[in-house]
């Protein structure tokens, strides 16, 4: 590349990075100073507040526990459309609370939600041929009341007879047509079969009536007797999706009536936003300094690309109104680590090429080429996990998955494209001397496999410490882990303080005082916008603890007992959400196993990866058990962060083992493994260090709830590095050699392969 071309390329790249700086600055400024306004990022309830809606179940008899649980689950799926971080939970025996972060118009949401549990399928005519609804030129109107329709048998079935309602598309005569697919239960199947047979014979319609209006009035094209039908005629996928969602919300088993709605303030407050951004800024600054000191010209290129990465992430979070919460921040931190990791892998490869006395330009090209498979495999496996968690997960899990997936895609682009462009332009300007890039030093392989028994014992001790401390916790605090009210439910107290406090004042004042009756844990406190009321969520308080709670507020804050209202609430992380999170994680691990098996042509690579991941997850759980850190919604995100981080590190080592199996044909299998781990050791240490630095500053500067999240995350980063370096390769070695003799394990790799081929020929 000519110097003039390189200079132009460098100027263009710097101009793009500079151009992204201003909108990024505006977004960060507005997010810190005026959340929810201007160019700010859409923040979750824990960071900026949102809308709270309370519903009351109606009907002559109280709803069953199963009906309430089903209603909560379906509502959660519905409100996920407003925010991936929306929460739905039970209050008392017949009330449901909905909290939707990052929004401020309660009336608009209530209007869109309508009246849950009030959907009916209505025949066009009754048994005597009278019209049940008629077209007024714009839409359809009922000619009778719902009660009259029920009495004369014109209501075919209700929304509760619908098992599922999903949007889709079909190819009809070469044209894309958008539809809604419905599945009915047994009672609904029979009723719908009779009604559609009658309607088809008369050429009539069946109206879908919800919340005092018709959502759709489709023509019956044939009798539907199998319990499944398809509503066609939607203009686009979004319209089909809205109709499917309406049928789901209208098909709840429990009919709900709105009791109240309000805009709630942040639980963590502006201080949490500011400290998180400050921690991220300092962490990135330290990483940039580290990269430049260690990798020189390559480090400068990576640092500029990291700045571009940060700017792009900020701009996209603002542009696409992605709701950012604490678990979302975890996803971004992980993707920052992976962005740096890709560069470290590439730079290590470049230094290895330079060490072989190759010209710098050729070394750069070869370095990118050889590093590509490890980078792609590591990021794709994490992206698979993010995709499945986004599809199967709900609430905080889905929010984590969205930001993680976004970060991975951008980090791949900046590492493979932006960093390379910067490096090529600097090289083209004359910075061609090998001393500007560094040279890999030959290292004697560390005998990891020779001491695998020691590392396995250490890991077993770490893993079994979890159940030991869980048993200890069960006897001392009544639960194996220090579950927060998000898992256990608790007491929600609405308190009128008579004065408008900041969130920070509430945390340090009311929060510290109430912690005395909350097992020492800080309660969740949120403000009700426009009032002097606050909502304080604690564990379920006994009668004695309630009296202590009242006394604290009365003595320390001059609050009258009449200004305190207490209600028991269910867990916001319901059993269904826990089930979905576990199921999503299991599916993600299985998909990783299959992908690694496919890419490495050896299922033992995949099995070793999954075993190492399970080890890391169990150690993080042990950390929660030992430290008794409160286990809330961020717990799931923390464990998933470590899994995503660890798999990337393991893939890098396995990629080098795969490569060395071909290059080191005369070496024994344990030599191949030890050499591969040693060659990638600097990458493992440097990537862990940069990720640890970012999380450390988050812990150092964050508020209490962020510290509770950052500490196990730091433990997980260290554990993930340990398992990748000291366990994964050794586990693969054991799996590969466990059915072979010790002599075979010590033989050269090619000799083993030749024996295997001969056996195959004899067969």
For residue 71, name the pLDDT band (cuts at 50, 70, 90): confident
* Residues 55 and 29 occupy one common structural domain: no
* Assigned domain for 762 exists: no
* Residues 683 and 699 occupy one common structural domain: yes
pLDDT tens-digit series, residues 461-486: 999 999 999 999 999 988 899 887 77
Rounded to two decimals, the pTM is 0.71
Kindly state the average pLDDT of the residues 65-71.
81
* Residues 203 and 330 occupy one common structural domain: no
Of 202 and 101, which is predicted with more confidence? 202
On the CB side of 540, CA atoms within 13 Å amount to 12
pLDDT tens-digit series, residues 102-136: 777 767 777 777 667 788 999 999 989 999 999 98
* Assigned domain for 271 exists: no
* Residues 22 and 71 occupy one common structural domain: no
* Residues 230 and 106 occupy one common structural domain: no
Secondary structure class of 534 (helix, strand, coil): strand
pLDDT tens-digit series, residues 153-162: 999 999 889 9
pLDDT tens-digit series, residues 388-414: 877 776 666 777 788 888 888 999 999
* Assigned domain for 480 exists: no
- The reported pLDDT for the residue numbered 262 is 67
Kindly state the average pLDDT of the residues 60-89.
78
- The reported pLDDT for the residue numbered 473 is 93
* Residues 587 and 501 occupy one common structural domain: no
**Cβ-based burial of 603 (10 A; exposed 0-12, middle 13-18, buried ≥19):** middle
CATH number of the structural domain spanning residue 103: 3.30.70.3400
CB 257 within 8 A of CB 55: yes
Kindly state the average pLDDT of the residues 421-446.
93
SS (H, E, C) 632-660: CHHHHHHHHHHHHHHHHHHHHHHHHHHHH
- Count how many domains the chain has: 5
- The reported pLDDT for the residue numbered 424 is 94
Q: Using CA atoms, how far apart are residues 330 and 396, in angstroms rounded to an integer?
A: 11
What DSSP line would sit under 203-217, residue for residue?
T-BEEEEETTEEEE-
% of the chain residues with pLDDT over 90: 43
For residue 554, name the pLDDT band (cuts at 50, 70, 90): very high
- The reported pLDDT for the residue numbered 35 is 61
Of 144 and 270, which is predicted with more confidence? 144
CB 482 within 8 A of CB 629: yes
* Assigned domain for 208 exists: yes
CATH number of the structural domain spanning residue 328: 1.20.1640.10
* Residues 147 and 18 occupy one common structural domain: no
For residue 540, name the pLDDT band (cuts at 50, 70, 90): confident
Whether residue 630 is predicted with pLDDT greater than 90 in this model: the reply is no
* Residues 644 and 691 occupy one common structural domain: yes
* Assigned domain for 481 exists: no
* Residues 361 and 409 occupy one common structural domain: yes
- Find the range with the poorest average confidence among 661-670, 681-690, 694-703: 694-703
* Assigned domain for 45 exists: no
Q: Using CA atoms, how far apart are residues 131 and 134, in angstroms rounded to an integer?
A: 7
* Residues 145 and 242 occupy one common structural domain: yes
- Per the prediction, the chain carries an average pLDDT of 85
- Find the range with the poorest average confidence among 187-191, 361-365, 437-441, 743-747: 743-747
Kindly state the average pLDDT of the residues 638-643.
81
Q: Give the structural domain span for 736.
A: 449-466+574-756
User: Which tokens is 396 given?
Assistant: 């905080």
From the centroid of its chain, how far is CA 41?
17
* Residues 213 and 342 occupy one common structural domain: no
Compute the chain's Rg from CA coordinates.
30
């Amino acid at each position: 590349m000519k110097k003039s071309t390189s200079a132009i390329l460098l100027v263009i790249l710097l101009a793009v990075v500079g151009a992204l700086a201003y909108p990024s600055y505006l977004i960060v400024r507005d997010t810190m100073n005026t959340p929810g306004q201007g160019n700010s990022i859409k923040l979750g309830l824990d960071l900026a507040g949102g809308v709270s809606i309370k519903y009351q179940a109606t009907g002559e008899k109280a709803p069953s526990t199963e009906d309430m649980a089903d209603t909560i689950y379906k509502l959660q799926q519905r409100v996920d459309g407003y925010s991936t971080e929306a929460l739905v939970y039970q209050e008392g025996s017949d009330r449901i609370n909905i909290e939707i972060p990052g929004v401020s118009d309660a009336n608009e949401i209530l209007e869109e939600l309508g009246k849950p549990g009030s959907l009916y399928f209505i025949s066009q005519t009754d048994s005597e041929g009278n019209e049940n609804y008629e077209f007024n030129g714009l839409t359809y109107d009922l000619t009778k009341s719902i009660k009259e329709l029920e009495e004369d048998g014109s209501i075919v079935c209700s929304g509760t007879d619908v098992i599922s309602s999903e949007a889709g598309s079909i190819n009809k005569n070469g044209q894309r047509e958008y539809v809604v697919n419905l599945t009915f239960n047994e009672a609904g199947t029979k009723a719908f079969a009779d009604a559609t047979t009658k309607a088809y014979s008369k050429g009539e319609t069946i109206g879908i009536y919800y919340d005092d209006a018709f959502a759709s009035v489709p023509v019956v094209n044939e009798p539907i007797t199998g319990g499944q039908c398809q509503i066609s005629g939607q203009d686009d996928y979004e319209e089909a999706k809205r109709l499917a969602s309406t049928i789901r919300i209208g098909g709840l088993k429990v009919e709900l009536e709105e009791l109240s709605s309000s805009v709630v303030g942040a639980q963590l407050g502006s201080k949490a936003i500011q400290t998180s951004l400050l921690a991220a800024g300092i962490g990135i600054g330290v990483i940039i300094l580290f990269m430049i000191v260690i990798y020189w010209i390559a480090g400068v290129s990576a640092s500029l690309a990291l700045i571009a990465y940060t700017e792009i992430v900020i701009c996209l979070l603002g542009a696409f109104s992605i709701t950012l919460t604490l678990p979302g921040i975890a996803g971004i931190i992980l993707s920052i680590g992976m962005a740096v990791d890709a560069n470290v892998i590439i730079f290590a490869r470049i230094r290895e090429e330079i060490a072989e006395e190759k010209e710098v330009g050729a070394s750069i090209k070869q370095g990118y080429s050889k590093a590509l498979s490890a980078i792609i495999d590591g990021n794709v496996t994490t992206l698979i996990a993010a995709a499945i968690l986004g599809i199967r997960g709900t609430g905080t899990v889905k929010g984590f998955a969205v930001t993680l997936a976004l970060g991975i895609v951008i980090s791949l682009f900046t590492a493979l494209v932006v960093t390379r462009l910067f490096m090529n332009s600097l090289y083209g300007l004359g910075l061609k001397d090998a001393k500007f890039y560094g040279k890999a030093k030959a290292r004697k392989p560390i005998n990891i496999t020779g001491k695998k028994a020691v590392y396995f014992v250490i890991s077993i001790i770490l893993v079994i410490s979890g159940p030991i401390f869980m048993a200890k916790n069960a006897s001392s605090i009544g639960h194996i882990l220090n579950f927060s009210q998000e898992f256990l439910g608790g007491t929600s107290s609405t308190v009128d303080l008579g004065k408008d406090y900041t969130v920070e004042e509430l945390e340090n004042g009311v929060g510290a005082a109430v912690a005395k009756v909350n097992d020492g844990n800080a309660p969740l406190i949120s403000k009700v916008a426009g009032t002097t009321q606050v909502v304080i969520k604690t564990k379920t308080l006994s009668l004695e603890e309630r009296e202590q709670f009242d006394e604290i507020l009365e003595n320390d804050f001059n609050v009258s007992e009449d200004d305190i209202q207490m209600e028991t609430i269910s867990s916001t992380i319901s059993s269904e959400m826990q089930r979905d999170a576990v199921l999503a994680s299991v599916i993600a691990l299985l998909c990783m196993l299959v992908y690694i098996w496919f890419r490495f042509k050896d299922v033992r690579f995949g099995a070793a990866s999954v075993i190492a991941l399970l080890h890391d997850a169990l150690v993080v759980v042990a950390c929660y058990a030992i430290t008794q850190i409160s286990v809330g919604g961020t717990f799931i995100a923390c464990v998933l962060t470590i899994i995503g981080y660890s798999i990337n590190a393991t893939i890098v080592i396995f990629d080098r083992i795969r490569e060395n199996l071909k290059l080191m044909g005369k070496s024994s299998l344990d030599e191949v493994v030890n050499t591969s781990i040693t060659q990638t050791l600097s990458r493992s240490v440097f990537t862990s260090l940069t990720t640890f630095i970012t999380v450390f500053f988050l812990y150092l500067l964050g508020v209490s709830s962020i510290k509770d999240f950052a500490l196990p995350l730091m433990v997980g980063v260290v554990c993930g590095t340990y398992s990748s370096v000291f366990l994964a390769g050794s586990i693969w070695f054991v799996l590969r050699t466990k059915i072979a003799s010790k002599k075979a394990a010590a033989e050269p790799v090619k000799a083993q392969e030749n024996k295997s081929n001969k056996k195959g020929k004899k067969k």
